[in-house]
Protein backbone atom coordinates (compact mmCIF):
# COMPACT_ATOMS: atom_id res chain seq x y z
CA UNK A 1 0.00 0.00 0.00
CA UNK A 2 1.27 3.47 -0.79
CA UNK A 3 0.11 6.94 0.15
CA UNK A 4 2.37 9.76 -0.96
CA UNK A 5 5.90 8.56 -0.30
CA UNK A 6 4.84 6.17 2.49
CA UNK A 7 4.84 2.47 1.58
CA UNK A 8 3.45 -0.13 3.99
CA UNK A 9 2.76 -3.85 3.81
CA UNK A 10 -0.80 -4.87 4.71
CA UNK A 11 -2.54 -8.23 5.08
CA UNK A 12 -5.00 -9.02 2.27
CA UNK A 13 -7.96 -8.76 4.65
CA UNK A 14 -7.19 -5.14 5.48
CA UNK A 15 -6.62 -3.85 1.95
CA UNK A 16 -10.12 -2.37 1.56
CA UNK A 17 -9.80 -0.44 4.81
CA UNK A 18 -6.55 1.14 3.62
CA UNK A 19 -8.02 1.90 0.18
CA UNK A 20 -10.78 3.84 1.97
CA UNK A 21 -8.12 5.78 3.91
CA UNK A 22 -6.47 7.01 0.70
CA UNK A 23 -3.78 4.38 0.13
CA UNK A 24 -3.16 2.92 -3.33
CA UNK A 25 -2.51 -0.80 -3.64
CA UNK A 26 0.82 -1.34 -5.41
CA UNK A 27 2.73 -4.39 -6.61
CA UNK A 28 6.40 -5.22 -5.97
CA UNK A 29 7.49 -2.93 -8.82
CA UNK A 30 5.63 0.04 -7.33
CA UNK A 31 2.95 0.05 -10.04
CA UNK A 32 -0.58 0.88 -8.92
CA UNK A 33 -2.82 -2.20 -8.88
CA UNK A 34 -5.88 -0.59 -7.31
CA UNK A 35 -6.45 3.12 -6.68
CA UNK A 36 -7.63 4.58 -3.38
CA UNK A 37 -11.40 4.79 -2.92
CA UNK A 38 -11.41 7.61 -0.37
CA UNK A 39 -9.38 9.74 1.97
CA UNK A 40 -8.05 12.09 -0.70
CA UNK A 41 -8.80 15.61 -1.80
CA UNK A 42 -8.15 17.24 -5.15
CA UNK A 43 -7.86 20.98 -5.51
CA UNK A 44 -10.38 22.64 -7.80
CA UNK A 45 -7.78 23.80 -10.34
CA UNK A 46 -6.60 20.22 -10.94
CA UNK A 47 -10.18 18.98 -11.13
CA UNK A 48 -11.18 21.65 -13.65
CA UNK A 49 -8.14 20.89 -15.81
CA UNK A 50 -9.09 17.20 -15.90
CA UNK A 51 -12.71 18.03 -16.75
CA UNK A 52 -11.61 20.31 -19.62
CA UNK A 53 -9.26 17.64 -20.96
CA UNK A 54 -12.02 15.04 -20.75
CA UNK A 55 -14.43 17.23 -22.70
CA UNK A 56 -11.81 17.91 -25.40
CA UNK A 57 -11.03 14.20 -25.71
CA UNK A 58 -14.72 13.31 -25.99
CA UNK A 59 -15.09 15.79 -28.88
CA UNK A 60 -11.97 14.41 -30.57
CA UNK A 61 -13.25 10.86 -30.11
CA UNK A 62 -16.62 11.73 -31.68
CA UNK A 63 -14.86 13.38 -34.64
CA UNK A 64 -12.58 10.39 -35.19
CA UNK A 65 -15.48 7.94 -34.96
CA UNK A 66 -17.35 9.95 -37.60
CA UNK A 67 -14.28 9.85 -39.87
CA UNK A 68 -13.95 6.10 -39.37
CA UNK A 69 -17.61 5.55 -40.20
CA UNK A 70 -17.26 7.69 -43.33
CA UNK A 71 -14.16 5.78 -44.46
CA UNK A 72 -15.79 2.40 -43.79
CA UNK A 73 -18.87 3.48 -45.73
CA UNK A 74 -16.66 4.57 -48.65
CA UNK A 75 -14.69 1.31 -48.58
CA UNK A 76 -17.85 -0.81 -48.88
CA UNK A 77 -18.77 0.75 -52.24
16-72, pLDDT tens digit by residue?
A: 999 999 999 999 998 999 999 888 888 999 999 999 999 999 999 999 999 999 999
Q: What is the pLDDT of residue 40?
A: 83
Beta bridge partners of residue 25, listed in sequence order: 34
Q: Is residue 53 situated within a structural domain?
A: no
pTM: 0.59
Would you list the DSSP string of 35-55?
---SS----HHHHHHHHHHHH
Number of domains in the chain: 1
With beta carbons less than 8 A apart as the criterion, state whether 4 and 24 touch: no
Amino acid 52: pLDDT = 98
- Residue 17 lies in domain: 2-34
Query: Domain for residue 17, yes or no?
Result: yes
d(CA 34, CA 25): 5
CA distances to 26, 42, 52 from 55, in Å: 30, 19, 5
Amino acid sequence: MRKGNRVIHVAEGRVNAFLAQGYDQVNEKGEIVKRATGGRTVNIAEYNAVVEELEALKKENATLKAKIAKLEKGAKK
